[in-house]
Structure 1
Amino acid sequence: MTTSMPATKHSLRVRLASSVLGGCLAVALLAATPVRADDSNPVLAKVNGSEIRQSDVNVAEEELGPSLAQMDPAARQDNVLSFLIDMKIIAKAAEDKKIENTEDFKKRLAFARDRLLMDKLLASEGKAALTPDAMKAVYEDASKQITSEQEVHARHILVPTEEEAKKIEDQLKKGADFAELAKKESKDPGASDGGDLGFFTKDQMVPEFSKVAFELEPGKI
């Protein structure tokens, strides 16, 4: 079993694959420069006439991604290429043993095929969903589902009599601090927060209070 890598400058590497191969000897010529004119996808090695191109190494790097994370980037391609050479050698030995004809192999191959098809389709659909037109459509659809309600932010001071309310109003007109007066005079549970009611919509308060709150100009009493 012979494995060769086309080269103008090369070193010779001899590897004994594995005992399971029945002593098959693989001979590899390591390429310093590819001999093919197509530099974008050169042939990096040949195993029994089967080519291993740069694109094959690229696919393998994607598939082996996590296991390559800690590897020196400078040595990564050589290691992946060595892996592909070994894989082809061992795969040929498996073919010779008719492993591909077993039911277990056929089921696993069908599963791997279906899973790859699913992954490719989902990846393709995902990219399509990120186009500007698709994103705009999603935004517009989501906007239609949102009903915009006006909110106001207010503070109040709750006292039992109108007389007390007028006294507090006079103090506020003279410049008294609303929050401090609320803490001191208000009978509402929110007095400790300076009478702060936060933001609310019209339907969250009693109609009489909401009417006044929504008609007041910002900063007015």
Structure 2
Amino acid sequence: MTVTHRLATAGVVALIVCGGLAVRAQDGVVARVDGKTITEADMRLAETEIGSDLGSLPDGTKRRVLLEFLIENQLFADAAEKQRLSTGTGFDERMQYWRRRALRDVYFDKSVKDTVNDAETKRFYDQQVGALKPEDEVRARHILVEGKDKARELFQKILHGADFAALAREHSKDPGSKDQ
């Protein structure tokens, strides 16, 4: 079976499996690809890898994309195994890199994430927000008129207490500011 054919088959399998994602086996198996299981744990790992690329997709769509990613991953891995690409310098170097990265991630999860609790996080956040200086708020309004003479006339009226909004409604050529 060619890789293209297997990918097409995987697409069909993904559609079938996605339809049944709501009903999962107790062992956390989400799908099977050529007898190999894809689990909820695999889904979580895939989300840490590509989840930020999925943005704010709805949860159902995100799960479908993650599952398709994992199915394609498995199919390509199977194809590489069949071509005996799992040995050699290039493969070994990548495995060393991914091992170091996995160890770093596990270490971080265990030592760093576990040492910071929600209360400390909230306290730090509150301190940072408290340290921020409030910015001045400015509300700009304008009256669009033709000619400097008309602008000066309206400006003098405003300086002497005339209602800005009333003058804008009556004199402004800008329909957006005229109605405010």
Give the shorter-chain TM-score range.
Answer: 0.5 to 0.7
1:50 matched to 2:36: yes
The alignment's TM-score, normalised by the length of structure 1, stands at: 0.44
The answer for unaligned runs of 5 or more in structure 2 is 121-180
AA aligned to 1:95 is: E
Cα 1:124–1:94 shift into 2, 3 Å: same
How far 1:33 moved relative to its partner?
Answer: 3.4
The alignment's TM-score, normalised by the length of structure 2, stands at: 0.52
Aligned with 2:20 (options 9, 28, 33): 33
Following TM superposition, the consecutive aligned residue runs of length 4 or more in structure 1 with deviations greater than 6 angstroms are none
Determine helix, strand or coil for the equivalent of 2:9.
strand
Aligned with 2:107 (options 105, 121, 145): 121
How far 1:58 moved relative to its partner?
Answer: 2.0
- 2:24 and 2:30 in contact (8 A); partners too: no
Structure scoring higher RCO (CA < 8 A, sep ≥ 6) equals 2
Cα deviation 1:80-134 (Å, max 9, x = unaligned): 11111111111100111111112111011111101210232133211343369xx
- 1:17 and 1:26 in contact (8 A); partners too: no
Counterpart residue number, 1:177: none
How far 1:76 moved relative to its partner?
Answer: 0.8
Higher helix share: 2
The answer for unaligned runs of 5 or more in structure 1 is 2-15, 136-221
Higher strand share: 1
Aligned with 2:116 (options 104, 108, 130): 130
Cα 1:73–1:110 shift into 2, 3 Å: same
Cα deviation 1:68-87 (Å, max 9, x = unaligned): 11434331101111111111
AA aligned to 1:76 is: K
Cα deviation 1:22-69 (Å, max 9, x = unaligned): x5463544133367651xx53221111101122211221122122111
Work out the CA distance in 2 between the residues paired with 1:129 and 1:33: 38
AA aligned to 2:20 is: T
Counterpart residue number, 1:109: 95
Trace 1:196-215 onto structure 2 (pairs within 5 A).
none
Q: State the number of aligned residues.
A: 113
AA aligned to 1:123 is: D
Rg (Cα) greater in structure: 1
1:92 matched to 2:61: no
Trace 1:48-87 onto structure 2 (pairs within 5 A).
48-87=34-73
Determine helix, strand or coil for the equivalent of 1:51.
strand
Cα 1:45–1:119 shift into 2, 3 Å: closer
AA aligned to 1:52 is: I
Determine helix, strand or coil for the equivalent of 2:112.
helix
AA aligned to 1:33 is: G
